Amino acid sequence: MKPAAVLATLCFGALLCTAQAAPPPPASLTGEVLEARNVDSYTYLRLKTAAGEIWAAVPTAAVSKGAQVSIGRPMIMENFESKTLKKTFDKIAFGVLDAPNATVSSPHGGTPAARPGADGAKVAKVARATGPNAKTVAEVVAGKAALKDKSVVVRGQVVKVNAGILGKNWVHLRDGSGSAADGSNDILVTTQDTTAVGDIVSASGTVRTDVNVGAGYTYAVIIEGAALRK
């Protein structure tokens, strides 16, 4: 699928939208909160920036009027319709709030071109999943070409969760296989199911390769649409 088509279909959570990509996004968006509106799992912010006012949408956050906020790696969308707010935004920025003094990060748990699994976090070896489609994390990463568009089951420990981004939960799994040197120790899983760091889960989903979600973020391999089972 072409990047433009991916961007045209992605939206936050249960939001329904018709939008098209704007010019390349800035590295970050900083401004003063003029208005904050919470809906379901998201917070809409009207920001006063050096370039003028703009709306932004982030996962639910406690943000007060007058606060200074920074949104890392925003994805700018035009003509975005929010069914919940019954409002169409000429331009809106989707992203996550950066912690004070934090480096800009991807809403999916990494930075553009960053090597997955390179943060040094280690987990104890996790027992392999069972069944004909069972694979280790390293096997999925190394065998991505042969496994493309095929179903797999991977059992591992949750080491990172980014919930409610672009309508999905983004979960990093490790099972003690692979190497941090080449990123083969970590696999990114997208799911509608909830989990927490430290959980041991089996993820059943479809292997996708060379995934481009826009704003400069690409992934060599992920497990998409996974069902998680403890």
> Does 161 lie in the same domain as 89?
no
CATH code at position 143: 2.40.50.140
Q: What is the pLDDT of residues 56-80, one digit of tens each?
A: 988 777 778 888 888 877 888 888 8
> Does 138 lie in the same domain as 75?
no
Say yes or no to pLDDT of 4 above 50: no
Contact 217, 75 (CB under 8 A): no
Query: pLDDT > 70: what percent of the chain?
Result: 74
Q: What is the pLDDT of residues 104-142, one digit of tens each?
A: 334 444 443 344 554 556 688 999 999 999 999 999 999
Structural domains counted in the chain: 2
Give me the pLDDT at residue 27, please: 66
> Does 76 lie in the same domain as 13?
yes
Q: Which domain holds residue 166?
A: 134-229
- Indicate whether 110 belongs to any domain: no
> Does 168 lie in the same domain as 222?
yes
- Given 76, 97, 118, the domain boundary residue is 97
CATH code at position 79: 2.40.50
Say yes or no to pLDDT of 81 above 60: yes
Q: What is the pLDDT of residues 189-212, one digit of tens each?
A: 999 999 988 999 999 999 999 987
162: how many CB neighbours lie within 10 A of its CB?
Answer: 20
Say yes or no to pLDDT of 21 above 70: no
Written as one letter, the residue type at 28 is S
Residues 6+ apart with CB under 8 A from 72: 27, 28, 95, 96, 97, 98, 102, 103, 104, 105, 106, 107
Kindly report which listed range (31-35, 145-149, 199-203) carries the lowest average pLDDT score: 31-35
